[in-house]
Amino acid sequence: MNDYIKDFPILNQKVNDERLVYLDNAATTQKPRAVVEAVTNYYYHDNANVHRGVHTLAERATEAFENVRTKVAHFINAPSKDEIVYTKGTTEGLNWVAAGYGRNHVKVGDEIVISYMEHHSNLVPWQQLAQQTGAKLKYIALQADGQLDMESVQQQITDKTAIVALTHVSNVLGVVNPIAKIAHITHQHNALMIVDGAQSTPHMKIDVQALGADFFAFSGHKLLAPTGIGILWGKSSLLAEMSPLEFGGEMIDWVQLQKTTFKAAPWKFEGGTQNIAGVVGLGAAIDYLEKIGMDNIQAHEQVLMQAILPELSKIKGLTIYGPQEAQERTGIIAFNLDNLHPHDVATALDMEGIATRAGHHCAQPLMAYLKVPATVRASFYLYNTLADGQRLVEGIKATKEFFKNGTI
């Protein structure tokens, strides 16, 4: 994977006089030249609104915009491009399902099942839906190593369950949840399986049909694409039953003085001018990832974890959250060092040129479950190397010594 580093100019810099080691990929990934150039070329040559014009630029922009829909469908093995809805990101997609589908179908006495490891984007919308409809919100418990407790899964999903909404990969614990197995249980109870794919789609091959998902959402900026673009996939029958939440241009079929009819999915959800450049960038990012191969990216991260986790486990006073075995997690490592505040640790690492993230990671219920206020999170991606991992190990050791002795 080292050959791909040259495609990311931002990584070729120093931070605090040290070579940058970027380990905040769970928050957002860097962009390769191919993506930046695709966006630039769009603005230089094809900038026009889509669907609305017959002039050459509008037709080129529309063709590019719709071609990416087909590309995304192939990328996640969706049955049809017409099931691919453009959003701002995972958060918007999950909110749309909760509000546009949930409000129409969830009622008093129903149950919504999520887990303690959910990102706020896959927790607050369901919390709000439960409050609005009188449904009951239930939580799947975790095992000691942070993985989902399958006995709790069986207990919490019942014939009263209307929706099960789970993250595919935890943005804190790095665990890969057995979505296909849980979807099977969910469907036995005639409930819907909704999947937050923000942390899985960039790192492994996704097949929404094999997963048994009914809805699946992910963000472009976590897989090399620009910010402000994401995807909501839903089964065509469910999208047909889902109400749009934004009204205006382009999503309409016919407007009369007292009545409006809407287009079919996916266009009925895409009111107003879309993030066309973001869509173009997303298409270029998918091309880039597929050229490398998602299986190769996943294997590369496994190599990194198998080398780094044992070294980190040797550091006294370092607590790693989630599974301790590399094969049971992705390239996300959340940790705390001694009794130091995570922000202090992250700041010290930044002085060493190592970019990590500290805080609750938009997962406050999980922090409460782990009985910690926050953690430091290092997250790896395809352009990270074993040398980056070693820099993290040495940086944590130096941080420990600094706070122990006052020198670094």
- Active site residues per annotation: 362
- Measured CA to CA, the distance from residue 215 to residue 226 in angstroms comes to 23
- Measured CA to CA, the distance from residue 297 to residue 1 in angstroms comes to 8
Q: Which amino acid is at 123?
A: L
Collect contacts of 42-51 with beta carbons under 8 A, ≥24 apart.
42/276, 42/277, 42/280, 43/277, 47/277, 49/273, 49/276, 50/274, 50/276, 51/250
Q: Which residues contact 286 (CB under 8 A, 6 or more apart)?
A: 68, 71, 72, 75, 223, 225
Do you find a cis peptide bond into 202, omega within 30 degrees of 0?
no
The CB density around residue 48, as the number of other CB atoms within 10 Å, is 16
- Measured CA to CA, the distance from residue 122 to residue 127 in angstroms comes to 9
Residue given tokens 């990416």 in the structure block:
68
Largest CA-CA distance found in the chain, in angstroms, rounded: 75
Q: Which residues contact 153 (CB under 8 A, 6 or more apart)?
A: 140, 182, 185
CB-side neighbour CA atoms (13 Å) of 398: 16
- Measured CA to CA, the distance from residue 299 to residue 203 in angstroms comes to 9
- Measured CA to CA, the distance from residue 158 to residue 356 in angstroms comes to 40
Taking Cα atoms as reference points, which of 145, 176, 178, 147 lies closest to residue 164? Answer: 178
SS3 333: strand
Q: Residue 116 in contact with residue 170, Cβ under 8 Å?
A: no
User: Following DSSP, what letter does each residue of 128-143 receive, concatenated?
Assistant: HHHHHHT-EEEEE-B-
For the record, the structure tokens of 117 come out as 């490891």
